[in-house]
Structure 1
């Protein structure tokens, strides 16, 4: 397993091929994001999993299929972390990420927090709940989405891709702190917790094709 490090002005990005190092400790809450070949979990493969302890350091695990000389889902350290009941996994739009991680790695990711759901529960005065908008409006941070549609299945990822991938997890802890305070203020934290607990099941429903028809509709 090879690793490389990219130093950015205010953060550090470690690229790990195939799995996390066995001795890596990321604390009780880990920000997580994924990059894939597309947005259809049945068709599009998982390429990268990004993680951060909220300390300005991002760890990116490149998932390479066996057909391309990699190890595929053979990443025991990553899978242990994602399924560890003592570690909270913090996402933005967890619904997609927990589904693709279930499909690609065979793990149920829990417990989960989602900044997008939190934003929709308390920021009802706006329909702007994207990560870029939340970072700008709540943290005063501008993140670039230029590399969002790039080729994440490439054998060698560019510096720009890694910078983009890291930005998706580096600010989630700060965002969650702001949004959790709003959930408490509006009396909706318990409701949010119920939503978060349902997310692994929502991912399973998506994988089974229950997007349309929605089983919760009339």
Structure 2
């Protein structure tokens, strides 16, 4: 097992990676006590071997590794890449490219939705992963041999898994199915957080403009404060307290101190004053500028059975084609298709339309039907005169 703790060793390792067709990459990190993930270990495997790189080692410069990650001639293979890519984006301002995510590829190849690494490498590489170090504290030093063995297994077994997935994709002609998903993962906008929009992630039970206006300002303050102090959002202000503040719009320290779960010390201190200022900013805006939340529209009467039929068709088509349903259409996609033939959803464009969308519209309009044949759901043609009947 190789643990790299010096820049010179990292440079030598990266020289061997420079000519590789692809490398496999994984990270170990912590973020329970911070806003930004704390990078604790980077594991990389190439054709000549694998190494764990210690970014916490004194004096270690990650520049040689970053150069390889940004080398367009070397494919970077991750499993469930989003959090790893977020780390590198915040570390360097760039996203490793080109990219291949084996979790997405596995969904395309019929391994189910969001398949885990252990499941994938067991099926494709015949490997058994020792999970005993999964919840270890990766910031503690020194790292044990067991920890390093576990960490390196995440990239060593990923190589044969990637090779087999790549062959399956080539055999089925589905390489282009990954393009949309990879485009999302390599888009910097995926990893940028706009404080002015974070309120939209919260579960709210009212669409009253005054409530939403206050919530938007307080949520934006919390996000900036969490970023500034590098703390988890909940350590700055819990969601429940923020929603209560939005509901009551406290005008002063006494009102704010009565917020459930908030101490007087917070209300009287700097943060309390800033929260009150955020509330006042919202209330000082013209009502015409308050955010508007459109109420969720009720489905038209009679659409529920249509949605259920589309759900059955989706499951059948995905089973037949060995692809995860999550990758083809979501529940909201099905609702949109049931209501509108021209719905702006991924399931009605590109390869998804070929696989599912066209048949979904045909089923909706009665030009095909579903039947149980030999205990399996099958598509059956509908005679034209029947399809045209009112």
What range describes the TM-score normalised by the shorter chain of this pair?
A: 0.7 to 0.9
Output aligned runs, 1:49-198, within 5 Å: 49-55=42-48, 57-64=49-56, 70-71=58-59, 74-123=61-110, 126-127=112-113, 129-198=115-184
Query: 2:286: which partner in 1?
Result: none
CA distance in 2, matches of 1:18, 1:42: 28
Could you say which structure has the higher helix fraction?
2
Conserved? CA contact 1:32–1:91, under 8 Å: yes
Could you say which structure has the higher strand fraction?
1
1:10-48 CA-partner distances (Å, limit 9, x unpaired): xxx211115453233121211000000147983330011
Match of 1:206 among 185, 191, 211: 191
SS at match of 1:129: coil
Conserved? CA contact 1:41–1:207, under 8 Å: no
Unaligned regions of 5+ residues in structure 2, if any?
202-331, 333-344, 346-390
Match of 1:30 among 16, 23, 30: 23
Q: CA deviation at 1:100?
A: 1.0
Unaligned regions of 5+ residues in structure 1, if any?
1-12
Deviates more, 1:78-87 or 1:159-168: 78-87
Conserved? CA contact 2:76–2:97, under 8 Å: yes
CA distance in 1, matches of 2:125, 2:86: 28
Q: CA deviation at 1:186?
A: 3.2
SS at match of 2:3: strand
Deviates more, 1:140-149 or 1:101-110: 101-110
Conserved? CA contact 1:50–1:58, under 8 Å: yes
CA distance in 1, matches of 2:151, 2:145: 10
CA distance in 2, matches of 1:141, 1:76: 32
Over 3 Å counting, the alpha-carbon distance change for 1:105 and 1:159 in structure 2 is farther
Query: 1:5: which partner in 2?
Result: none
Structural RMSD (CA): 2.8
1:161-191 CA-partner distances (Å, limit 9, x unpaired): 1000000000112111111222233332112
Aligned length: 196
CA distance in 2, matches of 1:23, 1:61: 12
Please state if 1:16 is matched with 2:4.
yes
